Amino acid sequence: MTTSEHFLCRREELGPGEMRAFVVGKSRIVLCRRKDDFFALRDICSHHGAQLSGGLLGGTNVASEVGEYHYGRDGEVLRCPRHGFEYDITSGRSLHDPDHQRVKSYPVVMKDDGVFVQLTS
């Protein structure tokens, strides 16, 4: 297998809490930024094939007491626009079934102010 790096954008072109879709060869990728960290996922929901880049990047309800709702994980959860499936941007794992439902995640490399994704073929 061969690994190659592909330039996506400059660091300042994607602000914290933002995401953007890219096409690299035959791969659709969504790049997400949480604070100073960048994460790349396959831009296709594993549940029904929607483009995740059309969804929302934010947080979700986290475990709390009965009858209480607490928002957490802000900037770590990508929600599919079609059925609301939620994915952890740091791993690509779904929040509802992390051992079986996921989207591919790709390594991101920073070089100077450039953001690159590593793809293996």
pLDDT of residue 60: 83
CB 118 within 8 A of CB 106: yes
pLDDT of residue 64: 76
Tokens (6 digits) for 112: 């100077």
Q: What domains does the chain contain, in order, with CATH numbers? A: 3-120 (2.102.10.10)
CB 67 within 8 A of CB 8: no
pLDDT < 70 regions, the chain = none
3-state secondary structure of 53: helix
Q: Which residue has the tokens 């061969």?
A: 2
